[in-house]
Structure 1
Amino acid sequence: MSAHTTIGETLEQTVDRHPDRDAIIYPRKDQRWTYAEFNDRVNRLANALIDAGIEPGDRVATVLHNGSEMALTVYACAKIGAVFTPLNFRLPAGEIEYIVTDAAADLLVFEAATREAVEGARPALETVDEYVSIDDDVPAFASDFYALLESGATERPDVRVTEDDVYAFIYTSGTTGRPKGVVHEHRSMVEHSLLCIAELNLTRDDVGLSMMPLYHCAELHCNLFPRVHRGAANVIHHEFEPQAALEAIEDHDVTQLFAAPTAWNALSLAAAEQAVDISSLRIGLYGAAPMPEQVLENCREQLCEDYVQAYGMTEIGPAGVFQSPDDQVSKQGSAGLPALNHQLRVVEPDADPDQEVSRGDIGEILLSSPCVMREYWNRPAATERSLRAADGTTWYYTGDLGYRDDDGYLYVVDRKDDLIVSGGENIYPAEVEDVLFGHEAVTEAAVVGEPNDEWGEQVVAYVVGEGVSADELDAFLRASDHLADFKRPRKYTFVDDLPKNPSGKVQKFKLRTDETDSEPEDDPIQP
């Protein structure tokens, strides 16, 4: 054992404490394993990976939906010092090629639903020596996951893994462009698990539901890892479907789950129409954005009373700021307070860490965290811009703008890159979006700046909603006491959906380049 517990050892310690408690419940494949049984399978896969030639530091990529196979793979990699590299299962061949090549992955695990994209990328994947399929119809170029699993020994792998070894490359979801590989070490993620255990008050009696993507660090690091660390049960759903999630809460007495605010909204609406017993649910975790007031009210009425918000990003674990259940109403719109062992500063954008702004003033959000990444893989310049040391402390520059109120609570205003400057005035898209969201016909809204010869930039709103026109929205904003006239959108684009990353954050760079999934309907208005 290393001086500090590694990810693989968190599982082994739980097995020592609670060998016969439920670990993994995967209804899709009728799998239910105790911690002892799960650990045996992890050891089998770990030893099989070694037999397949995987060595410490080698990258093991996955292109998978949620499933027991994801849980087995991440812990098997952790036990042998391999670098877990999960990819978004929605990626097309070209993006798989980019990430797998950038990571120089040695082995790739996929499923039937992602096979076409993997096959499309395969001719260009020069570093991949082994392909593994988790489904029955295994293509000729791949090995069978479960045959590989059965081939390994159940003994603990004879590999020394230390706290400062790399655990994973987690590729950013790309809210601003090409994804970057975030390099996380074992110790930072064990620290992060302890944070989440404390903030959610997790116990061995909890039952968690993983329905958000496990390839994303929000579900993986804030939910699966802490629950395994604590000895709680983990129900895994292949993908998110509101009705199925509610039924799972009833069937398995689920006590805790994570979702983005949009998914929580969908759950609350479904619960209002569905006769299910969800009384076991005691706490909900959310992130990506503050919970809109009406959504929070619906969730508290239909689902459970207590919610915790986590603010952060892949680079810090992802959670570095938490809003407790007691602050959901009194500090609505806030991200919360710094997590345990974390420091928070708001400084002049791009300024040194000691250039703090006054309370209430907007600046760039900086975090100092024991869970922060080591670096961006193959991106030394980006690493240098994002991680800066001052007086012996390393600060991560988030690129988010925000302020702290008199009580020290953080309010995130917007992304620094999303700031709109129109006629010399600073306009923060989030404040326009918040007012638009108050219109009953608006489901979602995203505001961006568009080049304009007269004003430099003009405000453009992308809206998801039915039965409303640009003129009606403009009249609604003009009548509002919460938005200055110069901040009103000068053009509305109505779309079916907004492009989002896996954590639910809107990818505004796609809106600026017209990369939407639907044919937009532009509707300019008179100034």
Structure 2
Amino acid sequence: MLDRAISVSDILRTTSRAVPQKTAIVDEIGSLSYFEFDATVDRLAAGLQRHGITAGDRVAYLLWNQRELLFSYFAIARLGALTVSLNFRLTPEELSYQLVAAECKAIIVDRDLAELASKAISISKLSILQIVAGAEARPGQLGFADLSRGVADDIPQFPTVGADADSGIWFTSGTTGRPKGAVVKHRSAVAAATLSAIALGFPEEVRSLAVAPLFHRGATENFALPVILCGGTNFLRKRFDAAQTLENLEKYRIQLAFIVPTMAWQLVQEPSAENRTLPHLTHWISASAPLPPVLAERIQERFKLPNGVTNAYGITEMLFVSRCPPDMLTKKPGTAGLPAPCTQVVIHDEKRGILPNGEIGEILISGPTGFSYYLNDRQATREAIVNLNGTAWYRSGDVGVIDADGYLAIKDRKKDMIISGGENIYCAEVELLLIDHPSIREVAVVGVPDEKWGEIVVAAIVSAKDAVVDLDQIVKSCSSLASYKRPREVVCLETLPRNSFGKVRKDLVREMVRERIEMSRQARRAS
């Protein structure tokens, strides 16, 4: 089936013909049937075509979780152009870098993000057509609604888009440096949607609430796209609000929601969550960052989910890699589970090759959902892909282990691993222990240079509300760890710096921790 994978656009076209009157989208504006959805995409694609967008061109969008994002995603694909999905949390300078790297010809933006887009375009010095949704166009702009006017009865022929054509450029989350543009084929996107629906067991005519931001590939192609493949309904709300999200989950009897851990913490701590159960939410999917066992327990205690929480592991370049169902999470806390269908996962060492179960090394992944190459970066592409026995494997940069039952556990990012006194220390192991401490709400463990040990372990913590923090007591709480793994320093921060998908920016944490430690040492010397 995957060898005959069609284009992204064909998924919507096929579903709209099969269930034209079924509700496809529900948002603040109202509802939209699949027939209306597909017809709108036709008109938008025709409007883009009239303004010079052709196959191979790059079209960006800077949008909230709104219907225009899904319209744009499919319309761009229908033309054989490439989507460039932009993160609305970035600065103008960061957005400008991505616009230039992708050589974008047009950008579709929400009215509330138009000023941000204009600043980014100005910095880029590119001539980019700006299409604004939800507002009248200003000079030099084009209105989103105006784009498709006059073409309703005269839809032109669109190019035939094959499975091996490039469909999009998805910039990585950039936890260690500048984001890289992962170029993805239609075949990979269709495979991602198909395998997600199979592996996660999407119910028939699934009702899904888009909680995580759709500008990420995983949120779109692992969740929104398979919902459309199944003829389900995507419920959209522009921005995340914990109270409103809980209300929508209950009101619309939502069955599926992709909720990253940082959002989950907000939901369980939301006052309106008290005594609120979610009996329809059969698929609470957690991914993008480690799911602490204590959080999984809090979610279940608070909302009495019928099936608990499913923990998943994925990467922009490969998307959905593995998943651990709720019943196994209790037996194997912290595990990322078994590989997704058609996906292979091995643990590798550069000197010893593929390692046996139980040994720790870098996670390599092979499967049909993978990216093709990094935009304008052959060196990074060569470094990311390794050939083993005739098969291409993606080097994840994550350190993990596969147990005797085949379950994958993520230990750390390879670049984040601490080497102290010649011993390897995995930050995630220390973090999972510390997060259970009642005084700690969030924690990030990093290595800091040390003359004697090479590196020492430092814990950066955000204290729980109204907690009295005893730093010495926190260090003593790690007595179950080997002495070299225990934090030598504990630093209190107001917040942990995170990227747009909730992943902790360890590079920024290291900078903050080093500054605090140096200030503390200077104060001690002065006294």
- Structure 2 match to 1:451: 449
Q: Give 2:495's aligned amino acid.
A: D
Deviation at 1:272, TM superposition (A): 6.3
What is the CA–CA distance in structure 1 between the aligned matches of 2:137 and 2:121, rounded to whole Å?
15
Structure 1 residue 462, shift from structure 2 partner: 1.4
Distance 1:513 1:277, change over 3 A: closer
Gap regions ≥5 residues in structure 2: none
Within a 5 Å distance, the mapping from 1:218-367 to structure 2 comes to: 218-270=218-270, 273-274=273-274, 278-303=278-303, 304-306=305-307, 307-316=309-318, 318-348=319-349, 350-351=350-351, 355-367=353-365
Counterparts of 1:32-431 in structure 2, within 5 Å, are 32-153=31-152, 155=155, 157-270=157-270, 273-274=273-274, 278-303=278-303, 304-306=305-307, 307-316=309-318, 318-348=319-349, 350-351=350-351, 355-431=353-429
Normalised TM-score (structure 1): 0.93
Question: Greater shift after overlay, 488-497 or 58-67?
Answer: 488-497
Which stretch has the larger CA shift, 277-286 or 413-422? Answer: 277-286
Which residue pairs with 1:31 in the alignment?
Answer: 30
Q: Tell me the amino acid that sits aligned with residue 334 of structure 1.
A: T
1:222 is displaced (CA, Å) by 1.5
Superposition deviation, residue 523 in structure 1: 6.2
Q: Which moved more, 1:33-42 or 1:145-154?
A: 145-154
Residue 12 of structure 1 corresponds to which residue in structure 2? 13
Is the contact made by 1:493 and 1:523 (CA closer than 8 Å) also made in structure 2? no
Provide the residue aligned with 1:512 in structure 2.
510
Distance 2:492 2:136 in 1: 42
Deviation at 1:138, TM superposition (A): 3.3
Distance in 1 (alpha carbons) for counterparts of 2:118 and 2:404: 55
Residues 522, 331 of structure 1: CA spacing in aligned structure 2 closer, same or farther, 3 A cutoff? farther
- Contact persistence 1:24–1:33 (CA under 8 A): yes
Moved more, 483-492 or 80-89: 483-492
3-state SS in 2 of match to 1:400: strand
Distance 1:515 1:16 in 2: 57
Judged with a 3 Å threshold, the aligned counterparts in structure 2 of structure 1 residues 332 and 425 are, in CA distance, closer, same or farther, namely same
Find the aligned partners of 1:265 and 1:379 in 2 and give their Cα distance. 37
Percent identity, please: 32
Distance 1:67 1:523, change over 3 A: farther
For the structure 1 residues 54 and 72, does the alpha-carbon distance in structure 2 shift closer, same or farther, using more than 3 Å as the test? same
Question: Could you tell which deviates more after superposition, 137-146 or 411-420?
Answer: 137-146
CA offset at residue 515 of structure 1? 10
Give the whole-Å Cα distance in 2 for the aligned partners of 1:506 and 1:24.
32
Return the TM-score normalized by structure 2.
0.93
What SS does the aligned partner of 1:310 have?
Answer: strand
Aligned residue type for 1:242? A
Distance 1:165 1:50 in 2: 18
Tell me whether 418-427 or 496-505 shows the greater mean CA deviation. 496-505
Q: CA deviation at 1:111?
A: 2.3
What is the alpha-carbon root mean square deviation over aligned residues? 2.4
SS in 1 for 2:312: strand
- Bigger drift between 302-311 and 418-427 goes to 302-311
1:65 match: secondary structure? coil
- CA distance in structure 2 between the aligned counterparts of 1:157 and 1:238, rounded to whole angstroms: 33
What's the CA shift for 1:481? 4.2
- Which structure 1 residue ranges, 5 or more long, are not aligned? none
Name the SS of the counterpart of 1:170 in structure 2: strand
d(CA) in 2 for partners of 1:261 and 1:481?
27
Question: How far does the alpha carbon of each residue in 1:336-363 deviate from its partner, in whole angstroms, 9 at most, with x for none?
Answer: 1111111111011x45xx7122321110
Given the alignment, which residue of 493, 496, 499 partners 2:494? 496
The 8 Å contact of residues 436 and 473 in structure 1, kept in 2 or not, is answered as: no
Give, as a single letter, the amino acid of the residue that structure 1 aligns with 2:314: G
After superposition, what is the alpha-carbon deviation per residue over 1:78-132, rounded to whole angstroms, capped at 9, x for unaligned?
Answer: 1111100011101111111101000000001122332332222222334443111
- Is the contact between residue 43 and residue 157 of structure 1 (CA under 8 Å) also seen in structure 2? no
Distance 1:232 1:60, change over 3 A: same
Residues 300/151 of structure 1: CA separation in 2 closer, same or farther (3 Å cut): farther
Deviates further, 193-202 or 299-308: 299-308
Q: 1:276 to 1:40 in 2, by over 3 A?
A: farther
Shift of 1:414: 0.1
| CA distance, structure 2, for counterparts of residue 345 and residue 127 of structure 1 | 43
Distance of aligned partners of 1:376 and 1:125 in 2 relative to their CA distance in 1, 3 Å threshold: same
| Gap change, CA 1:293 and 1:507, over 3 Å in 2 | same
Matches of 1:495 and 1:520, distance apart in 2: 12
Deviation at 1:277, TM superposition (A): 6.2
Q: Distance in 1 between matches of 2:512 and 2:138?
A: 37
Q: 482-491 vs 444-453, which deviates more? A: 482-491
- 1:329 match: secondary structure: helix
Q: Which amino acid counterpart does residue 432 of structure 1 have in structure 2? A: V
On the 8 A contact 2:59/2:106 being kept in 1, the answer is: yes
Instruction: Letter of the 1:287 partner, please give it.
Output: A
Q: In 2, are the aligned partners of 1:320 and 1:339 still within 8 Å (CA)?
A: yes
Q: Using the TM superposition, name which of 365-374 and 355-364 deviates more.
A: 355-364
Tell me which residue corresponds to 2:485.
487
1:464-483 to 2 correspondences below 5 Å: 464-466=462-464, 472-483=470-481
Deviations 1:397-438 (A, max 9, x none): 001101111111111100010011122222111111112111
Q: 1:151 and 1:92, CA in 2 relative to 1: closer, same or farther beyond 3 A?
A: farther
Distance 2:385 2:152 in 1: 42
Q: Distance in 1 between matches of 2:246 and 2:311?
A: 21
Contact 1:429/1:447, CA 8 A, preserved across alignment: yes
User: Secondary structure, in 3 states, of the residue corresponding to 1:458?
Assistant: strand
Residues 376 and 382 in structure 1, CA contact (< 8 A), matched pair in contact too: yes
